[in-house]
Amino acid sequence: MRKILFSDQDLQVICENIRRLTDAVLNQDSISMIVSRQFISDLIECNIELGKTSPATARSIALDLLPVIQSRQISYEEQVVKLFMALADLHEKEGSFKDAANMLRAMPLENGQRSYSSEMKLNIYVRLADLAMRYGDGDEAETFINRASVVSNDLQNNKNVYIPFKIKFAEVLNYRQKFVEAARKYYDLATFENLERSDQLMALSNAIVCTIFAPPGAKRSRMLGMLFNNEKCKPIPSYSIVKNMYLGKIIQNDEMVDFEKSLTDNQRSMHGWAVMHRAFLEHNIIAISASFTNMPLIQLARLLGIDEVQVRSLIRFLAEDILLQMIIDNRLVATIDQISGFIHFKR
């Protein structure tokens, strides 16, 4: 078997030889099921070893082998699952995240002949959620992490699998821009027993970032209060933003710049300046509305720190996109008179 797999022959010849050998073993009545299953398992292990040095070759062999044993899945389910896992690893290694996910999705976790542990299911669903984010499908990522949540209850005492699940859940919500929910997941994670101090601070830092990104509202206000009153948050650089937001103060441009610099590359690339800038704009609008009953839109734009050259060109965007949406969402109680160019705040 190893001689065939690791030979210098053409890939097509190797695949054909493996297929013939496999057919001979599986179709030979004199060979017991125990022996044939062990043969397939050994073949998959050898191919996994081959994949470390020749991933493309190993992937082709595995894909060629899959239909041969999948047609006998009832008898070889363990080996089919093992091959799906190996193919997922190979696809992911090559950056084919969608193909890797398709391999994992094809595994008979819920409808197979065998019974699979909650831990295995959790790990697979978490991995599927991660892959979905990597190929840019937030809906699928949330679907898979919700499936993971269903099987996670039995594993709360197993921190080696439960904590990565909770982290991934928060990441998925963050990716979906469900910032308040993500912040709460990160905050809850920071309270886990036996979590390293550095991991606690990282979770709280992520909770702060998600809360800052969240649109104004009652849920965000509650998160701001929790973070503001948590002593462990105070050493985190972005805590000053939390403090000012909680106290209803206007966030200045230099504070926004410092906050952006404090973001990790992942945080910056996931949402970018646009999401962050809108979050600060909306917060500052709420802060201004607490101190004024009305004002010209152009004055509001200036108070929001919009560049003087751009003020007039951005008035319509401010009124029709930012302010109107906040009013529709009941996050701002106000009326806009675009004829006179005024906004009237109500309390």
258 token code pair:
């410092």
Which of 3 and 59 is assigned the larger pLDDT?
Answer: 59
pLDDT surpasses 70 at 296 = yes
Orientation angle between helical segments 159-175 and 179-190, nearest 10 degrees? 160
Instruction: Report how far apart, in Å, the C-alpha atoms of 60 and of each of 14, 136, 160 are.
Output: 10, 26, 33
Identify the burial level of 241 via C-beta atoms within 10 angstroms of its C-beta, where 0-12 means exposed, 13-18 middle and 19 or more buried: buried
pLDDT surpasses 70 at 271 = no
Query: What order of strands is seen across the sheet that includes strand 342-345?
Result: 294-296, 342-345, 334-337
Q: Which residues of 299-337 are buried (b: 16+ CB within 10 A; e: fewer)?
A: bbbebbebeeeebeebbeebbeebbeebeeeebbebebe
Contact (Cβ atoms closer than 8 angstroms) between residue 74 and residue 86: no
Assess if CATH 1.10.3720.10 describes domain 292-346: no
Contact (Cβ atoms closer than 8 angstroms) between residue 324 and residue 316: no
- Reported as a single tens digit per residue, the pLDDT across 191-240 is 887 788 888 999 999 999 999 999 888 899 999 999 999 999 999 989 99
Closest CA to 142 of 155, 128, 156, 154: 128
Q: Name residue 20's amino acid.
A: R
- Reported as a single tens digit per residue, the pLDDT across 112-142 is 677 889 999 999 999 999 999 999 999 999 9
What pLDDT does residue 73 have?
Answer: 76
What pLDDT does residue 76 have?
Answer: 83
Classify residue 117 by its DSSP letter: -
Find tokens 């937030």 and name the residue.
138
Instruction: Report how far apart, in Å, the C-alpha atoms of 168 and of each of 83, 97, 132, 339 are.
Output: 25, 17, 12, 48
Average pLDDT score, the chain: 87
